[in-house]
Chains A and B, each alone.
Chain A
Amino acid sequence: MPAVPAIATRDPRIEAWWQALDCGFPQAAEVFAECAQSAAGRLSAIELDAYIEAARFLGRMGRGPEPLLAFLEEWPEVTAEIGAAALAPVMDLVRAMQKSPNSAAITPFLQTLGAVARRLQSLDQLRFYLDVARDLMVRTTTSIHGHQATFASPALPEFFREAPALLGMLSLGGVRNWIEYGIRNHARHPEHQADYFGLRTPDSRAVAQRERHGTLFADVERKLELTLRALWRDSEQLVPYSNAYHELRQIVPYYDKLGLRLPDVLDERNGVNGLDRYRAVLAHMAGHRRWSEAQVADNWSPFQRMAVEFFEDARIDALVMREYPGMARILLALHPRPAEDACDPETTSCLRHRLAMLSRAFLDAGHGYRDPLLLEFAAEFRARLAAGPSSTREIAELALAYVSRSRRPSDQFARIHFDDTEIDYRDDNRQLWQFIEEGDEEAAFDAARTPMPNDEPHGLPPRHYREWDAASGGYQPDWASVYEGLNPPGNARAIDEVLQKHAALAKRLKRLLDMLKPQERTRVRYQEEGSDLDLDIALRSLIDLKCGAHPDPRINFSHRTSGRNISVMLLLDLSESLNQKLPATGQTVLELSREAVALLAWVIECLGDPCAIAGFNSNTRHEVRYYHLKGFSERWGDEVKARLAAMAAGWSTRMGAALRHAGHYLERRQADKRIVLLLTDGEPADIDVEDTSYLRADTRKAVEELAARGITVFCLSLDPRADDYVREIFGRNWQVLDRIERLPEALPQLYLRMTR
């Protein structure tokens, strides 16, 4: 142990504490005086002793000077936010880390503690945070081959580093869910784990996004589109942007030729919920688009431009409130109400403050400000808007007059009053200006970008589908990527030969079909109640009556229509297991399926129902392949037959994603009944999923989702052991075919039975 270095202080108290700290690090000597000074101002004598004692422990842990330095600097702030009672639980966690292999995480833990305390604001919350961290530590500290706790948790230091940012976005409950997800999905891969907890992977960010507090753009997007269309007759695209990952520069809503840009999440503020805040933003931007025209900005100073923006924004808001008086409640609740004396014009640039007050006064008759110049301009503003919508030009003149009359020397000061002057439902007004000369004033908003070379494979971009995670009771966002494409063509003759081979079966089916084929309209005779008198029968009955015989009362006839309005999607599982040969016939299951599908397609064509055929297989969640064999509007012709002939099998069965994709197409069909007929030979499985119940649960969820959209899923399984799980997944809509050889016969019959 090196001797205690001297510190440069004349304060005997600090000298005494320094001695009590008994620390040999020269780095600590440099900062101790300052830290102790600040702590002395915030802590009582007893708390100070505890502070020094804790610091002494940290300095003597043998982990270098960093934990001590972090603690010395952060603790006074933690105490100020939460109170000194937090010390005991914090030190408990430090000791727990010290005893485990995770002592490297102590420094980041202490370094961010101040920022975390600022977010949490209460001891209970802090305890919860510590529990969450301890839980994370215990569960991600791994042991191999029975050694106890040998490897440090890769997640823990990353988590501590990101904790302030996370807590800014999420509630503690959300943080816990985010951690749960990370542990469950990345527990066995240390590098992935570190990336996840460092918020560096897409899924990590997506999960965090899902757990955010406030109103998510994604949840209300449709409502916003409808609002924009209904209230403002505007059909511009809405594009979200994220403010979550840059703390310093917060993006303000704006619009450009690609659409209206809105933040991806809005919290409740001043009693206005997130959805209404979005609507306020939309109303303001829609107002600009309706009433504003771009002004030439070159000859105006930045101050003048700022004033014009405030005035014009207020004009737009006033017009919005005139059009929809109910918006006034929302806009006024969101518009700050700066106190008249909040800004000292002697020391600070007050222009923003003055303009914000003015903007409030323009909109709110009960503003209560007394400044005569403000009152004069507020009256003038109202007068100009009394007659009509006025114009950007006219209101800009008023703004320029205000700037020149209210000018103060202090406006040039570097210290600017910002409090209560930011009106967050307003956009950044970039569309309000046009610049004639190129200069450095305008930011290059729409700078031409060089397109990146595209190394994605050619074809349609993948569609991403969420997946149900039964363990967490929530969806994994954008989890499975579905790549779709036309199945390459093969030889159409093969299918014709198949049909030839099954000619006898075809004949039998044909008979069934004729029975089923709907006549547009059938007359039903011999009805007691009917739409029309069947005159022949009526006269016969009348004769009977006159002759004294008992007349037949069934003298009416009616009509019955029996139209079919069915869209069906035949979805084929094309996984590797289809290549199995059947011992009985020597055919593979794939060949049998092909024959069955060919027959069914022919049957459906005869019936005239719109039908699509597609196959799917998967190679992990990143590559679910979806092959189109026949489209709804395609005829059962050579092209389709050729595609069917080339149908091939491989890989695994990720059923949920394929079902959702099939549903995506079927949903757009106008039909009374929409059916997905799923032909599979096994349960859902994929090589990146170890837990079979996971994909089962997801498939069941997909079936439920489709049912909610009016699509029935029916499963024909070729797996003799399927009874265990098909019921769980498909409810009542399934059938297991025990003799696979009968498939070509069974599939069309099943369809006929289903749709009769």
Chain B
Amino acid sequence: MTETQQYRVRREPYYQPQAGEVALYQAAYAARLPVMLKWPTGCGKSRFVEYMAWKLDKPLITVACNEDMTASDLVGRYLLDAGGTRWLDGPLTTAARIGAICYLDEIVEARQDTTVVIHPLTDHRRTLPLDKKGELVEAHPDFQLVISYNPGYQSLMKDLKQSTKQRFAAFDFDYPAAALETSIVARETGIDEALAAKLVQVGATARNLKGHVLDEGVSTRLLVYAAKLVKHGVAVRDACRMAMVRPIADDADVRETLDHAIDATFA
């Protein structure tokens, strides 16, 4: 089925396991448990899901959640065509039908009443009622729901309902350890390990400020950006400033402190 094919992950994504999460995920998938990923932002959540979909050889449907998303954006809606109305499955329904892994990225960005539609899929029922269409979709045996959830930086207003939270098995990870992150950055971009280690050190200084003046530390993704800029011939300090400091620091004092950290790290 071509529809399924387009959701396949064809090439193996690079993913560096931190602590046995691959085996744990496999077990959760074997039991078809819904999974919640609580990583800091930019540290490999999406990569991990891609990697698992590839490893399990299942299609993957990703939905980036946002505040304007309505339930029908997930479930499906009627559209008009020449002959009348036509039902179009939403991504969640499609995943349930074809047996894909459905990944709802940053689910707290969606409003709480929207996220309730996933409830019947995430308990013993494993069904999705399409009330507008009058259909009850039985989930395909391979279907699994994965959500990512970042409790840190959002405001108090944005949180998952308890009834939603309690439907998931969860992974809770922090930034990768320095050595591991070094190898990730080096492997991802092809810069040498020594430089990658320095970038990680700069990143660590910014992460020390997380929760004080920064809402989030420098993500692995930003480290990779910096490394890529270096790869393209940008001077390493400029690359660090551009990729790691300017995006996260609006406060002049913080910016200056991090600039100093860069100068202190690179002799």
Q: Which residues from chain A sit less than 8 Å from chain B, CB to CB?
A: 222-223, 226-227, 229-231, 233, 276, 279, 283, 324-329, 521, 531-533, 535, 538-539, 542, 555, 559, 670
Residues of B contacting A279 in the complex (Cβ-Cβ under 8 angstroms) = 260, 264
17 contacts across the A-B interface (CB closer than 8 A): A223-B257, A226-B257, A227-B257, A227-B260, A229-B212, A230-B208, A230-B258, A231-B260, A233-B208, A276-B260, A279-B260, A326-B263, A326-B265, A533-B80, A535-B132, A559-B68, A559-B70
Residues of A contacting B264 in the complex (Cβ-Cβ under 8 angstroms) = 231, 279, 283, 324-327
CA distance A94 to B85 in the complex (A): 104
Contact B267 A532 (CB under 8 A): no
Contact A539 to B85, CB < 8 A, known contacts A226-B253, A325-B267, A326-B266: yes
Residues of B contacting A539 in the complex (Cβ-Cβ under 8 angstroms) = 85
Contact A229 B267 (CB under 8 A): no
Residues of B contacting A230 in the complex (Cβ-Cβ under 8 angstroms) = 205-206, 208-209, 257-258, 261
Contact A538 B78 (CB under 8 A): yes
* Whole-angstrom distance between the Cβ of B66 and the nearest chain A Cβ: 11
CA distance A324 to B260 in the complex (A): 10
Residues of B contacting A326 in the complex (Cβ-Cβ under 8 angstroms) = 262-267
Q: Which residues from chain B sit less than 8 Å from chain A, CB to CB?
A: 68, 70, 72-73, 77-80, 84-85, 111, 113, 132, 155-156, 205-206, 208-209, 212-213, 253-254, 256-258, 260-267
Measured CB to CB, the nearest residue on chain B to A324 is B264
Interface centre among A227, A230, A231 (most CB of B within 10 A): A230
10 closest A-B pairs by beta carbon, nearest first, are: A325-B267, A324-B264, A326-B264, A226-B257, A230-B205, A326-B263, A230-B208, A222-B253, A223-B253, A227-B257
CA distance A223 to B258 in the complex (A): 10
Measured CB to CB, the nearest residue on chain A to B132 is A535
CA distance A222 to B212 in the complex (A): 12
Contact B70 A226 (CB under 8 A): no
Residues of A contacting B68 in the complex (Cβ-Cβ under 8 angstroms) = 531, 559
CA distance A538 to B77 in the complex (A): 12
Measured CB to CB, the nearest residue on chain B to A279 is B260
CA distance A532 to B155 in the complex (A): 28
Residues of B contacting A532 in the complex (Cβ-Cβ under 8 angstroms) = 70, 72, 77
Interface centre among A223, A226, A227, A328 (most CB of B within 10 A): A226
* Whole-angstrom distance between the Cβ of A418 and the nearest chain B Cβ: 30
Contact B267 A328 (CB under 8 A): yes
CA distance A535 to B84 in the complex (A): 11
Contact B209 A535 (CB under 8 A): no
CA distance A464 to B78 in the complex (A): 65
* Whole-angstrom distance between the Cβ of B50 and the nearest chain A Cβ: 29
CA distance A559 to B213 in the complex (A): 35
Measured CB to CB, the nearest residue on chain B to A222 is B253
CA distance A329 to B68 in the complex (A): 52
Contact A670 to B78, CB < 8 A, known contacts A230-B257, A325-B267, A559-B70: no
Contact A542 B79 (CB under 8 A): no
Residues of A contacting B261 in the complex (Cβ-Cβ under 8 angstroms) = 227, 230-231, 324
Contact A231 to B85, CB < 8 A, known contacts A532-B72, A533-B77, A535-B132: no
Contact A542 B205 (CB under 8 A): no
Contact A226 to B209, CB < 8 A, known contacts A535-B132, A538-B80, A559-B70: yes
Measured CB to CB, the nearest residue on chain A to B156 is A670
Measured CB to CB, the nearest residue on chain B to A327 is B264
Contact A229 B209 (CB under 8 A): yes
Residues of B contacting A233 in the complex (Cβ-Cβ under 8 angstroms) = 208
Interface centre among A227, A233, A670 (most CB of B within 10 A): A227
Residues of B contacting A227 in the complex (Cβ-Cβ under 8 angstroms) = 257, 260-261
CA distance A646 to B92 in the complex (A): 61
Contact B265 A324 (CB under 8 A): yes
Residues of B contacting A670 in the complex (Cβ-Cβ under 8 angstroms) = 155-156
Residues of A contacting B265 in the complex (Cβ-Cβ under 8 angstroms) = 324-326
Measured CB to CB, the nearest residue on chain B to A283 is B264
Residues of B contacting A276 in the complex (Cβ-Cβ under 8 angstroms) = 260
Contact A231 B70 (CB under 8 A): no
Residues of A contacting B113 in the complex (Cβ-Cβ under 8 angstroms) = 521
Residues of B contacting A329 in the complex (Cβ-Cβ under 8 angstroms) = 267
Q: Please pick, from B78, B212, B257, B266, the residue contacting A535 in the complex, using a CB distance under 8 A.
A: B78
4 further A-B pairs in the complex, CB-CB below 8 A; given A230-B208, A231-B205: A222-B253, A229-B208, A538-B85, A559-B68
CA distance A276 to B68 in the complex (A): 48
Residues of B contacting A226 in the complex (Cβ-Cβ under 8 angstroms) = 209, 212-213, 253-254, 257
* Whole-angstrom distance between the Cβ of B145 and the nearest chain A Cβ: 23
CA distance A222 to B79 in the complex (A): 57
Residues of A contacting B209 in the complex (Cβ-Cβ under 8 angstroms) = 226, 229-230
CA distance A670 to B154 in the complex (A): 12
Measured CB to CB, the nearest residue on chain A to B258 is A230
Residues of A contacting B257 in the complex (Cβ-Cβ under 8 angstroms) = 223, 226-227, 230
CA distance A481 to B113 in the complex (A): 50
CA distance A539 to B258 in the complex (A): 60
Residues of A contacting B208 in the complex (Cβ-Cβ under 8 angstroms) = 229-231, 233
* Whole-angstrom distance between the Cβ of A745 and the nearest chain B Cβ: 34
Residues of B contacting A559 in the complex (Cβ-Cβ under 8 angstroms) = 68, 70
Measured CB to CB, the nearest residue on chain B to A220 is B253
Contact A542 to B84, CB < 8 A, known contacts A223-B253, A223-B256, A230-B257: yes
* Whole-angstrom distance between the Cβ of B263 and the nearest chain A Cβ: 5
* Whole-angstrom distance between the Cβ of A124 and the nearest chain B Cβ: 36
* Whole-angstrom distance between the Cβ of A529 and the nearest chain B Cβ: 12
Measured CB to CB, the nearest residue on chain B to A229 is B208
Residues of B contacting A542 in the complex (Cβ-Cβ under 8 angstroms) = 80, 84-85
* Whole-angstrom distance between the Cβ of B116 and the nearest chain A Cβ: 14
Residues of A contacting B79 in the complex (Cβ-Cβ under 8 angstroms) = 533
CA distance A113 to B121 in the complex (A): 90
* Whole-angstrom distance between the Cβ of B138 and the nearest chain A Cβ: 25
Contact B70 A531 (CB under 8 A): yes
* Whole-angstrom distance between the Cβ of B160 and the nearest chain A Cβ: 18
* Whole-angstrom distance between the Cβ of B82 and the nearest chain A Cβ: 10
CA distance A571 to B206 in the complex (A): 39
Residues of B contacting A328 in the complex (Cβ-Cβ under 8 angstroms) = 267
Residues of A contacting B262 in the complex (Cβ-Cβ under 8 angstroms) = 326
CA distance A231 to B261 in the complex (A): 7
CA distance A326 to B240 in the complex (A): 14
Residues of A contacting B256 in the complex (Cβ-Cβ under 8 angstroms) = 223
Measured CB to CB, the nearest residue on chain A to B213 is A226
Residues of A contacting B80 in the complex (Cβ-Cβ under 8 angstroms) = 533, 538, 542, 555
Residues of A contacting B213 in the complex (Cβ-Cβ under 8 angstroms) = 226
* Whole-angstrom distance between the Cβ of A550 and the nearest chain B Cβ: 16
CA distance A558 to B254 in the complex (A): 41
Q: Please pick, from B78, B84, B263, the residue contacting A533 in the complex, using a CB distance under 8 A.
A: B78
* Whole-angstrom distance between the Cβ of A71 and the nearest chain B Cβ: 51
Residues of A contacting B206 in the complex (Cβ-Cβ under 8 angstroms) = 230
Residues of B contacting A538 in the complex (Cβ-Cβ under 8 angstroms) = 78, 80, 85
* Whole-angstrom distance between the Cβ of B14 and the nearest chain A Cβ: 30
Residues of A contacting B132 in the complex (Cβ-Cβ under 8 angstroms) = 535
* Whole-angstrom distance between the Cβ of A275 and the nearest chain B Cβ: 8
Residues of B contacting A231 in the complex (Cβ-Cβ under 8 angstroms) = 205, 208, 260-261, 264
* Whole-angstrom distance between the Cβ of A326 and the nearest chain B Cβ: 4
CA distance A539 to B212 in the complex (A): 55
CA distance A283 to B264 in the complex (A): 10
CA distance A539 to B68 in the complex (A): 25
Measured CB to CB, the nearest residue on chain A to B263 is A326
* Whole-angstrom distance between the Cβ of A524 and the nearest chain B Cβ: 13
Measured CB to CB, the nearest residue on chain B to A531 is B70
* Whole-angstrom distance between the Cβ of A620 and the nearest chain B Cβ: 35
CA distance A283 to B235 in the complex (A): 26
Measured CB to CB, the nearest residue on chain A to B67 is A561
CA distance A357 to B233 in the complex (A): 41
CA distance A521 to B213 in the complex (A): 33
* Whole-angstrom distance between the Cβ of B130 and the nearest chain A Cβ: 13
* Whole-angstrom distance between the Cβ of B52 and the nearest chain A Cβ: 32
* Whole-angstrom distance between the Cβ of A553 and the nearest chain B Cβ: 11
* Whole-angstrom distance between the Cβ of A42 and the nearest chain B Cβ: 48
Residues of A contacting B263 in the complex (Cβ-Cβ under 8 angstroms) = 326
